[in-house]
Amino acid sequence: MRVLIVEDEWLVALEIQNVLEDLGHTVVAIAADARKAREAVAMGVDVALVDLNLRDGLTGPGIGAELVRSGATVMFMTANPGQLGAGVPGAIGVLPKPVEHEEVKQASIYLEAVRFGQAMPKPPSRLREFTH
């Protein structure tokens, strides 16, 4: 699975990347702002993990919506889940930060199943799924 991490906190992004790569996924890019995220879409993205507040402000919701329109499966990971309100149409949901390694692992398994139409495992317990 090809994953884009949209996160401006470098250490958080590297920890997520390590978990994903240990599971055999390819992290196509780490994007700290909207411009970098848009550039990464050209590399082919199956799944995107998107923070809300990035280097260029509260651009995560818009980036998530763009990624959904481009065909990516999107899940938000943020310390401020209330900023999403009812959610972003087409996105899976939001996982509140801080996120433990096991939650990242569960989330990636869940997102892979959603993306590729596999048998649905149990989602991470703290995942708030969007209903649209």
Which pair of tokens denotes residue 2? 């090809």
Domains of the chain: which residue ranges?
2-129
In the predicted structure, residue 132 carries a pLDDT above the cut 90: no
23-32 pLDDT, tens per residue?
A: 999 999 999 9
Query: Structure pTM?
Result: 0.96
Q: Is 120's pLDDT higher than 90?
A: no
Q: Which residues contact 49 (CB under 8 A, 6 or more apart)?
A: 3, 4, 5, 6, 7, 16, 75, 76, 77, 107
Third-level CATH fold of 2-129: Rossmann fold (3.40.50)
Check: CB of residue 58 under 8 Å from CB of residue 16.
no
Q: Please state, as a whole number, how many other Cβ atoms lie within 10 Å of the Cβ of residue 92.
A: 24
